[in-house]
Chain A
Amino acid sequence: MSNRMFRKLVAAWSAMIAGLAVAPFARADWEVNMPRGVTAISEEVYGLHMLIFGICCLIAVVVFGAMIYSIMRHRKSLGVQPAKFSHSTKAEIIWTTIPILILIGMAVPAADTLIRMEDTRGSDLSIKVTGYQWKWRYEYIDEGFGFFSNLAPEHNRARQLGSGIDPASLDNYLLEVDNPLVVPVGAKVRLLLTAADVIHAWWVPDFGGKKDAIPGYVNEFWFKPETPGIYRGQCAELCGRDHGFMPVVVHVLPQDEYQAWLAEQTAGVSIQPAVLTTQSDAPVVATAADVAPAEWTLEHAMAEGETLYNANCAACHQPNGQGMPPAFPPIAGSAVATGDVAAHIDVAVHGKPGTAMAAFGPQLSDDALAAIVTYQRNAFGNDTGDLVTPDQIAAVR
């Protein structure tokens, strides 16, 4: 390589580095550390993290300091003659023993915190959390109700490939859901975690940790939030295509507001949490509005079905029904959606084992499934004219 080329290369790299220095960085909050969080455990974990980080920094100063000193002073260009020594039993004993002592110093507080984290006794509230591809379901075991929690619709629109929507135009991009988990402040909340399809992990950094939701397992995780507020996290275990799009949002409410919210839920007035007033456009996702059979018209089912399809099916089968073959087959013109109605219902209710097609029977109401299947059989040019009724769904459950 000629000298000229060499200089050109250097110039190109310098320009790149300079460009970096002036690039507009306006979006992020430049957070560089773990949050302290809002539970006693999260504070402890933060303390451990900082302690061990501090110890590592001290060791780094000693080791790197010795190395840098040696690099500066013990170089041939300074005319140094190399020493001949090649071992020192004393030094080796010292630098084996001291690290062991340091490690013991770290292990004791770490074990102490771990033991406290694993103590799930004496909880005030138990919530069953089920991971699905790609949403969460929360069930308040003692109160007997539950709901799904999806990525909020406007975020879902913005995150589509080439949506043209600037993520910065949304608050908490990708960290907003339609129905958040709601818990009272100061209560020891115990989560019972499992999953319906693949492994997920439930994580809110402010609560001090995460736990896997595994099919066939019920894992326990607990947190006791000390401050009311909205806390956000995400699924933390790779769970397929939309792993990045199943956030966790927890609203921690003062006791009285929580009781009011709870009363609303258990009264059956609405499955939408009251705190959702900030998101008035969030649709009802998990259930279609219940209607008398007489009103179950093609028009009604299609309208309900479109909303439900976009919330539950479109991630894989796409809003235009074209799917992403072969992993996610198209609905448009498919043999299932234009053929035998019973077979179509069967796939929707029971899923297709060995594929990503989940069983939606346990997730959605009869009305909702009837609306979705009707929509699939009439949208995208399928035009079968079939109207599927909730009774047909109920019959195969």
Chain B
Amino acid sequence: MSTAAATHDHHEHHPTGIVRWLTTTNHKDIGTLYLVFSLTMFLVGGAMALVIRAELFQPGLQLVDPGFFNQMTTMHALIMVFGAIMPAFVGLANWMVPLMIGAPDMALPRLNNWSFWILPMAFTLLGMTLLFPGGSPAAGWTMYPPLVLQTGDAFPFLIFAVHLMGISSILGAINIIVTIMNMRAPGMGLLKMPLFVWSWLITAYLLILVMPVLAGAVTMLLTDKYFGTSFFQAAGGGDPVMFQHIFWFFGHPEVYIMILPAFGVISQIIPTFSRKPLFGYDSMVYATASIAFLSFIVWAHHMFTVGMPLAGQLFFMFATMLIAVPTGVKVFNWVATMWKGSMTFETPMLFALAFVFLFTIGGFSGLMLAIAPADLQYHDTYFVVAHFHYVLVPGAAFAIMAAVYYWLPKWTGHMYNEKLGKLHFWLSAISVNLTFFPQHFVGLAGMPRRIPDYSTQFADFNMISSIGAFAFGLSQLILVYIVWSCARGGQKATAQVWDGAEGLEWTVPSPAPHHTFDVPPVVK
């Protein structure tokens, strides 16, 4: 890299302090911003989840008004989906995609700066509604009319915040696609790209296709509320169910937007710590693409109870069940990658293995939910809550944590504290199951979701779930400490970091210099 460093002088006049972060166009800085923002939102959204779990600790209302409880469930979901999970993956993409494809930066650096800085504004708009006299939006993150139209002064803030989040996502996605399509190092054909890059390429297309749909849906809500339209109001000839169709046409691909990059992360980590190449690279790519395609034709499985025609229900049931095939291929490929490998179990690998186990459990409950007649029982119960938390917490969030531990030495130049990392893993893995596994039981036994109080028959499992949630929440403070201390110092990391690691990102020094790959590497 000495030749590259010599050409760097003209870059060294960048500002320092807060102005550096506000004006930065460097993909590594912006990646860091995204990740720090995401961690902050993860803690804020988590605190809201703990309000929910504290109220549900026992039957009866002890702590909060039911209206405020609904605000918490709504804000928790919006913050976790749009503020924690999605920006974390965009942050990982910003940091790692250029490093993995041998590009000097993202293709559109100023756009990159903007797509990040829109996010804090969006969440300021959304978050400030907590201080409003009428409180925050409380109609659920799905924003179903007519209920959402009863929202008070928070309503336009909700809509504009969602618009801004959508713009941020679209700009980020455009940048990622342009970067991957145009800036790969010579010799890196599409089918030589690391799986993380592949899964982000596909995810970015999903984002561009569905975020405008969401924007359209919420704009129609806005005009229904303030401009006298009746898109979704039955009294004016509108159709409340149409909103659900539009929302879930966005919403189901959105689910995969939150999980495909996680698949990519896991497909990087398992080969590294198995010291064996990824099994079935091509089929992994095709499976990811199949999942993305199928995500567009399964949306109404979120709506089996709205009274669809039989033919519609059958179609959406069959299409949904099909998703199990490519998803199964991915899981089998990960297991086959481990098979006859030479495994070690550092923290990233532990999180990746937990991902495979627990995401698969979420996949099983997903398959059960696909069965329309049974879904009429499961729908809107804690069984669904358990299902999507299994795929999002020990699924997406664990994959993000795995990625952070995996690449942290590359980012900071220091090894994190392995002992604390393992402690964080075990506490998280145990408490996440303690939190969400009993929710399967209460859901099957008949507890609806989104209720602040419940019949005494559900009491004990809810108590266990709440204890698990507090344990999980507090365990994440260990992660904050590990990242903070790793950024400040620690054992020096080598360029390679992990002895089984392969790929361009491991050819640059640790920490990765501010500018990398000024001269493109050649991939053989």
Contacts and interface: CB of A to CB of B under 8 A. Distances in A.
Contacts of A83: 276, 339-341
Give the secondary structure class of B's interface.
helix
A236 B67 contact: no
A243 B451 contact: yes
Interface stretch (B165-173, B188-196, B233-241): B233-241
Contacts of B314: 111, 114
Given A49-B374, A77-B344, A114-B310, A235 B448 contact: yes
Given A49-B368, A92-B280, A167-B59, A355 B305 contact: no
Interface stretch (A207-215, A265-273, A286-294, A374-382): A207-215
Residue from B419, B423, B455 whose CB has the most chain A CB atoms within 10 Å = B455
A238 interface: yes
B67 A241 contact: yes
B483 interface: no
B377 A210 contact: yes
B338 to A, nearest CB: 4
A13 interface: yes
Contacts of B427: 13
Interface hub of B336, B341, B345, B377 (most chain A Cβ within 10 A)? B377
B457 A28 contact: yes
Contact of B307 (A13, A114, A212): A212
B373 A113 contact: yes
Contacts of B133: 325-326
A250 interface: no
A82 B460 contact: no
Interface residues of B, number: 112
A52 B367 contact: yes
Contact of A199 (B146, B325, B441, B459): B146
Interface in A214-230: 214-217, 219-220
Given A20-B467, A99-B325, A214-B241, A70 B279 contact: no
A115 B147 CA distance: 31
For chain A, the bracket of interface size reads 35 or more
Contacts of B329: 92, 95-96
Interface in B210-228: 225
Interface string B428-452: 0000000000001100111010111
A270 B378 CA distance: 38
Query: Top 3 A-B pairs ranked by shortest CB distance?
Result: A216-B234, A209-B376, A244-B451
Interface of A: 1, 6, 9-10, 13, 16, 20, 23, 25, 27-35, 44-45, 48-49, 52-53, 56, 59-60, 63-64, 66-67, 70-71, 74-77, 80-88, 91-92, 95-96, 99-100, 103, 106-107, 110-111, 113-115, 117-118, 158-163, 165-168, 172-175, 197-199, 201, 203, 205, 208-212, 214-217, 219-220, 233-245, 324-327, 353-356
Given A31-B441, A168-B456, 18 more contacts: A35-B445, A45-B374, A59-B364, A70-B335, A71-B338, A74-B341, A76-B344, A114-B373, A175-B455, A211-B376, A212-B305, A216-B234, A236-B379, A243-B451, A245-B453, A324-B67, A326-B134, A355-B150
